[in-house]
Structure 1
Amino acid sequence: MRLNDPHSPLRQRVQTYLQTALKDDLVAALVVSVLLIPQSLAYAMLAGLPPQVGLYASLMPPLLYAVLGSSPFLNIGPVAVLALMILQTLALAPTGVSPSEAALVLAAEVGLLLGAAALLRLDALAALLSVPVLHGFETGATLAIAASQVPVLLGLTASGATLPELWTSAQQHGFDARGISAAFGLAALVALVAVRRLPKGLPARLAPLGVLMAGVAATWALDPQGLARVGTLPPLALHLTVPRLDAELWMALLPGAALIALLGYVSSLAVAESLARRVGQRVFPRRELMGLAGANLAAALTGGMPAAASFSRSVLMSDAGSRSRMTGVFVAALMGLALMTLSPVLAWCPKPVLAASIIVAVLSGLALQPYREAWRYDRGEALLMGAVTLLVLGVSITAALGLGVLGAIALLLKRSARPHVALIGRIPGTEHYRNVERYQVELDPQVLGLRIDESLLFLNGRSLADVVQAHLDTHPGTRRVLLQMSPVNSIDFSGVSALKELQDALSRQNRRLDLSEVKGPVLDRLKAGGWEDWFRGRLFMSHHQGMRDDAP
C-alpha cells in the first residue's frame, strides 16, 4: 500500500484527518500544554523530585499512550494524587539512592506491572477499587495535597505527606512564615480563584499560565530575598536513561508501585469511560492497560516519573475539541519545544505560586456530596468511604488503599453470604409471577414458588437450605418446592452441592424439589456435576408450567 496512490485507504484516511480533525487536535493540544507546563513542574516538586522530572514525564508518555491507548481525550502525565503516592513510596528507597533514581525504578515497575496485566487480560482489576473507596481515597488525597502545600505557600520549612507529619514538622521548625513568600503565594491564590470565575473560553484556559508568568515576571523584576524559586534547571534535553538495577531498591518500591499502578489504571479508565460516554464512543480496558504501560516505561527510560491520566487536563482536552489520539502526539511535540526554550524562564518561577496552583487545582475537584448520598444509601459503604479518607490524611496511602480493598471485599461477602430467595405468586389473569411483598398475587397452598435472585456460588450456597426452610415454616401445607432459576447466571460445585442438600432435606419431609427456567450455561454445569444421578424432581421450561403441573 503506497501513500502516493490517490486511491489508497491510507491516503484517504490521512486526507480525511487533515480536513476534519487536524485543526481541532492542534488547538486542544495547545490548550492542554498551557496547563501541563506549570502542573508538570508543580507535581514533580510535590513528589519530592526535581521540577524538570515533571517536564520529562510530560513528553514521551503522552506519545506512547497515543500509539497504544484507545481514548482520544486522555492526557497522560504527572498527576497530583499519584505525586503524593510517589512521595510516600520514594521514602522507602534504601539509603544512598537519590529520589530521581528511585523514580525511574518506580516508573519502570508501574509500567511492567500494567504491561503484565494487559498480557494476562487482567483489566477486571478495576473492580478492586469500588466507587466509595475511590472517592474516599481521592478526597483524602486532595485534602492531604492541599495541606502539604500550605507550608510552601507561606514560606514555612515544614513538610510531610500526612497531617500528623506536617504538624510534627511544623512544631520542630516553627510556624514563622516568610512575608515575601506568603505575599506571592496568597496573591497567586487569590488570582487563581478569581480567574476561575471567568466565562469558559480560551482566555479562562490561558489564565492559570498567565498567573504563573506574572509571578515569574515579578520575581525577575524584583529579585526579592528569601523567596524560594525553582532555581537554575539543568539543560532540558531529552536523554535516554536506564533505571538502576538494584534488587534491594526494586523490592523496596514494589508494593508502592503495585498500588500506584492499580490506582493509575482505575482512575484513568474511569475518566476515559466518562468522557467517551459524552460522545457515544467506547474505550477498551485492555488497550488502556497497554497505553499506560507504554507511557510509564517511556517515563522510566527518559528521566520521568510515574504517569497516568489527569482528570482536569483530560476534561479540558475534551472540551477543547480533541478528535483523535493525535492530540497526544501534538502535546508531546509542544512539550519538546518547551524543553528546549523555557529553561531560563522557569528558573525564576516562585515555588509559592506553584503551591497556589496545586491547591486551587486539587480543591476545585473536592466534592462532599457523595458522602451524604452514600450515608442515605448504605451506611456501611459510607463508613468505609470516611475511614479511607481519614487513613489517607492520618496514616498513609498504603493503609488507606489496603483497608479500602479489604473493606469492599468484606461488604461484598456480607451481602452475598445469604442468597436472596423471593416468594413469588401469579399476578391474577396472567402467567407472570412476582414477589409477594411488592404485588397482589395468587399463591398455591401446595406448591411453594421461590425465585433465586443471584448466582449460586460457594459464598452463599450453604445458606440456601436454611432460606428455603424459613419460607416452608410459614407455609406448612407445601407439597413441593418450585425454584425459578432464571436470575441464576452461574453455579459452581458448592452451588450444585447446595441444591443436592436442599433436595435431600425436602425428601425427608416428603416434599419434592422442581426447577424452572434454568439457563443453558447453568444447565450445562449441572449436567457436568452429574445431576441426572441424584436429581429426582422435574425441570420446566417456564415457571407457570411448573406451577400448573399435577404430576405426583
Structure 2
Amino acid sequence: MFSPANSWRDYSRRLLREDFSAALVVSVLLIPQSLAYALLAGLPPQVGLYASLLPLLAYAFFGSSPVLGIGPVAVLALMISQALGALPAGVSPAEGALVLAVEVGLLMLLAAALRLDALASLLSVPVLHGFETGATLSIALSQLPPLLGSPGTAQLLQFEPTTTLFGVAALTLLVLARRSLSGQAARFAPLVILLLALGLAWGFEVQGRGVAVVGILPPLHLGLALPRLDGEIWSALLPHALLLALMAYVSSLVVAESLARRRGERVDARRELLGLGAANLVAGCSGAMPVASSFSRSVLMHDAGSRSRMTGVFVAVLMGLAAWLLAEPLAWLPKGVLAATILVAVLSGLRLQPYREAWRFSRPEALLMLLVTLTVLAWSLAAALALGVAGSIALLLQRTARPHVALIGRVPGTEHYRNVDRHQVECRADVLGLRIDESLVFTNARSLTDVVQLHVDHHPGTRRVVLLMSPVNSIDFSGLEALRELQTALQRQRVQLDLSEVKGPVLDRLRAGGWQQWFKGQVFLSHHQGMSGD
C-alpha cells in the first residue's frame, strides 16, 4: 500500500497524522460532490457515496500516486449519463452503472496485463483540453434547471422561487468563499454552506413548498455482488465503457504526472492502470458508479499534505461514517444547492487561455481543439472523443508523411554541419550533405526519394550524396525499401549514395534486412569523414 521500501512498521505517527489530516480536508469536499455527481449521472445520490468507499481502498492497494483523489468525477458523470441512455428497456440506471463500472475495470486490467499504458498517447493535449472544456460547459448548462427549480431544459427555463433562492444563494456564497477565503477556511466553506442549507430547508420544511430535495437515503448497504449478467446490457454498454476507460485513464494519468513533478516523484503508468482498473471493478461490485481521479481533489490532497496512499484509506473510512451518520439529515438537502456545488466546482477549472496559445503555436491543433469542444456541446461526448482521436492521428500523419531532409554544410573552421538556411556554412559543389530529421517508417518512407531528388535537381554538379543518419532512431521494412529505391534512382544519374553516423540499432536492422547484398556505398563514422572522403 506504500512504496516498496515501506512497511507498516515504517509508517510513523507523523505520517499517519499528516495523511489523516489531508483525508479530513478532502472528505469535506467529497461529501457534497459525491451526491451531486451521482445525480448528474442520472443515478440515486447514495451511488456517489458508495463510489467514495471501497474503490478508494482498491486504488490504495494497487495504484502508485500518493495524492490521486479517486472517486466520482464530473466529466465521467456526464459520460455515464449519456451511456445509460443506451440501456435496453426495463433496465434501471443503477443496474447499468454497475455493469459499466465492471466493464471499465476489466478493460483497464486487460490493458495493464497487455502493457498497453501507451494508450494514453491517443488523446493529445489539445483534444483533452477541448473535450474537458466542452464537457465543463455542457455540465454547467445541465445544472441550470435544477438550480432554478425548472422541470424543463436549459433552452426552456422556468423558475420556482424558493428553489431559485436556495440555489442562487448557495452559488453566491460558494463563489464569495472561493474568492475571499484561503487555507482551512476556504476548504471547509462548502461543507458549512451545505449544513446551513440543510438547516434552513429543515426549519422551513421546504419540501412541502415545491422545493426538490435529495430525499431519504437508504441505509448504508454496499451490496457486494456481481452486476446483472445479461449479454444484451453488456454489449450495449461496451462501446461507452471503452471511451470511459480511455478518458478515465488519460485524465487520471495527466493529473498524477503533473502532481508527481511538483513533488519530485514518478508515476508508474502501468500501476495506474491496475489501480484504476481495480477501483472500477470494485465499484461495480459494491453498488457504485465508474470512478477516476478528480483534479481539484487531487490538488487538495497534495496541498493538504498527503504523504502516502493511506490518505485514500482514511477518506474511505470518513466517507463511510458520513454515509452512516448523515443519511437522515442529507435527505433535506435541496437539489439546487447541489447544482450550485457542481457549477462552482466545474467552472473553476474552465480555462480559455490554451485556445489562444494553441492558435499562436499551431492553428490546425487549435482548430481541432475548438472542433472537439463544439462537438461535445452540439452532439455527444462519444463523438467528440472519436473525432479527437481521429483528428490527432490525421495531424500526426500529415506531419510525418513527408520526411524533413535538410541540406547541411560545414561551419567554417569546425567539423560541425548545420542547416544552410539557418547558419553561415561551407558546401562542396560535388558532394551533397543531407540530414534526415526523423525515423524512416511506413508513414514517410515512400517520400524519401522525391525529397532527396529535389535537392539533387537544385545541385546539378552532384556526384555523391551523403545522408547524415544520426537523427534516425528506427527504421522499418518500408524504410529499408525506401533506401534501396533511393540508391537505384541515384545510380541511374551516376550519383553515389553514402551514409554517415548510423546508430547501432538502425544498423542492426539494416543488416537483418540483408542490405549488404545491394548497398553499394560506404558508411562513415562521422559526417565530416563522409564529406571529406572520395
Q: TM-score range by the shorter chain?
A: over 0.9
**1:507 aligned partner:** 491
Matched, 1:17 2:1: no
1:496 partner amino acid: L
Q: Pick one of 274, 277, 281 that aligns with 2:258.
A: 274
Q: How do 1:379-458 residues align onto structure 2 when only pairs under 5 Å count?
A: 379-458=363-442
2:22 partner amino acid: A
1:476 aligned counterpart, secondary structure: coil
**1:182 aligned partner:** 164
Matched, 1:198 2:180: yes
Q: What is the CA-CA distance between 1:279 and the residue it aligns to?
A: 1.1
Q: Deviations over 1:478-529 (max 9, x none)?
A: 1100000000000000000000000000000000000000011100110111
Output the CA distance in 2 between the equivalents of 1:10 and 1:155.
52
Tell me: CA distance 1:10–1:549, structure 2 relative to 1, closer, same or farther (3 Å): closer
Q: Pick one of 498, 502, 525 that aligns with 1:541.
A: 525
Output the CA distance in 2 between the equivalents of 1:455 and 1:260.
33
1:197 aligned counterpart, secondary structure: helix
Q: Deviations over 1:206-242 (max 9, x none)?
A: 0011111111111001112111100111112322132
Q: What is the CA-CA distance between 1:340 and the residue it aligns to?
A: 1.2
Output the CA distance in 2 between the equivalents of 1:228 and 1:218.
14
Tell me: CA distance 1:11–1:306, structure 2 relative to 1, closer, same or farther (3 Å): closer
**1:93 aligned partner:** 87
**2:124 aligned partner:** 130
Q: What is the CA-CA distance between 1:17 and the residue it aligns to?
A: 2.0
Q: Deviations over 1:181-214 (max 9, x none)?
A: 1110000000000000234211110001111111
2:68 aligned counterpart, secondary structure: coil
Q: Runs of 5+ in structure 1 lacking a partner? A: 1-8, 160-165
Please say if residues 273 and 282 of structure 1, whose CA atoms lie closer than 8 Å, have aligned partners that are also in contact: yes
Q: Deviations over 1:272-314 (max 9, x none)?
A: 0000000110000000000000000110010000000010000
Output the CA distance in 2 between the equivalents of 1:324 and 1:98.
38
Output the CA distance in 2 between the equivalents of 1:344 and 1:182.
24
Q: What is the CA-CA distance between 1:118 and the residue it aligns to?
A: 0.3
1:491 partner amino acid: I
Please give the TM-score of this superposition, normalised by the length of structure 2.
Answer: 0.98
Among all aligned residue pairs of Structure 1 and Structure 2, give the percentage whose two residues are the same amino acid.
Answer: 67
Q: What is the CA-CA distance between 1:13 and the residue it aligns to?
A: 4.4
Q: Pick one of 249, 252, 261 that aligns with 2:233.
A: 249
**1:37 aligned partner:** 31
1:489 aligned counterpart, secondary structure: coil
Output the CA distance in 2 between the equivalents of 1:128 and 1:379.
20
Output the CA distance in 1 between the equivalents of 2:189 and 2:518.
75
1:91 aligned counterpart, secondary structure: helix
Q: How do 1:71-470 residues align onto structure 2 when only pairs under 5 Å count?
A: 71-159=65-153, 166-167=154-155, 170=156, 175-224=157-206, 225-470=209-454
Output the CA distance in 1 between the equivalents of 2:290 and 2:333.
24
Please say if residues 25 and 187 of structure 2, whose CA atoms lie closer than 8 Å, have aligned partners that are also in contact: yes
Q: What is the CA-CA distance between 1:253 and the residue it aligns to?
A: 0.3
Output the CA distance in 1 between the equivalents of 2:221 and 2:444.
59
2:332 partner amino acid: W
**1:484 aligned partner:** 468
1:14 partner amino acid: W
1:331 partner amino acid: V
2:213 partner amino acid: R
Please say if residues 132 and 384 of structure 1, whose CA atoms lie closer than 8 Å, have aligned partners that are also in contact: yes
Output the CA distance in 1 between the equivalents of 2:370 and 2:56.
34
Output the CA distance in 1 between the equivalents of 2:180 and 2:301.
18
1:468 aligned counterpart, secondary structure: helix
Please say if residues 152 and 158 of structure 2, whose CA atoms lie closer than 8 Å, have aligned partners that are also in contact: no
Tell me: CA distance 1:221–1:92, structure 2 relative to 1, closer, same or farther (3 Å): same
Matched, 1:47 2:41: yes
Please say if residues 237 and 340 of structure 1, whose CA atoms lie closer than 8 Å, have aligned partners that are also in contact: no
Please say if residues 32 and 316 of structure 1, whose CA atoms lie closer than 8 Å, have aligned partners that are also in contact: yes
Q: What is the CA-CA distance between 1:335 and the residue it aligns to?
A: 1.0
Root-mean-square deviation (CA, aligned residues, Å) is: 1.3
2:52 aligned counterpart, secondary structure: coil
**1:4 aligned partner:** none
Output the CA distance in 1 between the equivalents of 2:4 and 2:462.
71
Aligned residue pairs total: 530
Output the CA distance in 2 between the equivalents of 1:40 and 1:285.
26
2:120 aligned counterpart, secondary structure: helix
Q: What is the CA-CA distance between 1:23 and the residue it aligns to?
A: 1.0
Output the CA distance in 1 between the equivalents of 2:395 and 2:5.
55
**1:474 aligned partner:** 458
Please give the TM-score of this superposition, normalised by the length of structure 1.
Answer: 0.95
Please say if residues 32 and 331 of structure 1, whose CA atoms lie closer than 8 Å, have aligned partners that are also in contact: yes
Q: Deviations over 1:45-67 (max 9, x none)?
A: 00000000000000011110000
Tell me: CA distance 1:88–1:11, structure 2 relative to 1, closer, same or farther (3 Å): closer
Output the CA distance in 1 between the equivalents of 2:20 and 2:462.
73
Structure 1 window deviating more from structure 2 (229-238 vs 517-526): it is 229-238
Output the CA distance in 2 between the equivalents of 1:270 and 1:326.
21
2:180 aligned counterpart, secondary structure: coil
Output the CA distance in 2 between the equivalents of 1:427 and 1:352.
70
Please say if residues 425 and 441 of structure 1, whose CA atoms lie closer than 8 Å, have aligned partners that are also in contact: yes
1:209 partner amino acid: L
Q: What is the CA-CA distance between 1:400 and the residue it aligns to?
A: 0.4
2:520 aligned counterpart, secondary structure: coil
Q: Deviations over 1:125-184 (max 9, x none)?
A: 00000000000000000000000000000011124xxxxxx53xx3xxxx3210011110
2:145 partner amino acid: P
Please say if residues 445 and 478 of structure 1, whose CA atoms lie closer than 8 Å, have aligned partners that are also in contact: yes
**1:6 aligned partner:** none
Output the CA distance in 2 between the equivalents of 1:437 and 1:19.
63
Please say if residues 237 and 339 of structure 1, whose CA atoms lie closer than 8 Å, have aligned partners that are also in contact: no
Stretches (4+) displaced over 6 A: 9-12
2:409 aligned counterpart, secondary structure: strand
Output the CA distance in 1 between the equivalents of 2:195 and 2:452.
71
Structure 1 window deviating more from structure 2 (239-248 vs 96-105): it is 239-248
Q: What is the CA-CA distance between 1:361 and the residue it aligns to?
A: 0.3
Structure 1 window deviating more from structure 2 (37-46 vs 339-348): it is 339-348
